[in-house]
Structure 1
């Protein structure tokens, strides 16, 4: 059984899922885009 579902694997969602998993929660991280995904600020 999954305790927490995090929707969005951006910086905030990834960090939240990571911390919750470290606290012992069964965590599912969902992202609609294929990873690695387009980052509008990543190629300046």
Structure 2
């Protein structure tokens, strides 16, 4: 039982890390867009 949980956590971890990286990139793009809008507006 515990072995299966360990295996699934090892499988989930890389996808979570990828999602976090993508989310951080999207967030920085959003921040950049907001700052540009503030500069123009």
* Structure that is richer in strand per residue: 1
Q: Which has the higher contact order (CA 8 A, sep 6+)?
A: 1
TM beyond 0.5: no
Please give the range of the TM-score, normalised by the shorter of the 2 chains.
0.3 to 0.5
Q: TM-score, normalised by structure 2?
A: 0.36
Which structure is larger by alpha-carbon Rg, 1 or 2? 2
Give the structure with the larger helix fraction. 2
